[in-house]
Amino acid sequence: MIKEVARVLTGGEDLPGFLRNHFVDLLNSIDRKMLHAEDTSLQQQALKRIEMLIKMMGSHLSTYVPKLTVLLMHAIDKEPLRSEGLSILLMPGNISKNLI
């Protein structure tokens, strides 16, 4: 569905290019509304959404690695989110690749 929105708004198939303009706003919204919520299920949803955004951005992540790292480290500091946060952080081809 997001690809369809990107196609309509930009006239092309460049999903990362479309998301690039909104990526930080999306991450800030996820951070504000979900990662800092008291409800663990909302926090887990936030991590799933971060993971989806990372996959959609693909190789265009390098600019956003610092912000993503801060969000994931925040999640890792919380016991119920630690495992999922680490798996996203260390997922092959994602953030860990861009940190090196």
**d(C-alpha 64, C-alpha 67), whole Å:** 6
List C-alpha distances in Å: 46 to 14, 37, 87.
24, 10, 14
pLDDT in tens, 47-81: 999 998 898 888 888 888 899 999 999 999 999 99
> For position 4, what pLDDT does the model report?
72
- Could you please report the per-residue DSSP string of 73-94? HHHHTSGGGHHHHHHHHT-TTS
Q: Where are the domains positioned within the chain?
A: 23-99
Mean pLDDT of the chain: 82
Q: Is the pLDDT of residue 46 over 80?
A: yes
3-state secondary structure 41-72: HHHHHHHHHHHHHHHHHHHHCHHHHHHHHHHH
- Residue 35, burial from CB neighbour count under 10 angstroms (0-12, 13-18, 19+): buried
> For position 76, what pLDDT does the model report?
94
pLDDT grade for 98, boundaries at 50, 70 and 90: low
Q: Is the pLDDT of residue 90 over 80?
A: yes
Average pLDDT, integer, range 80-93: 88
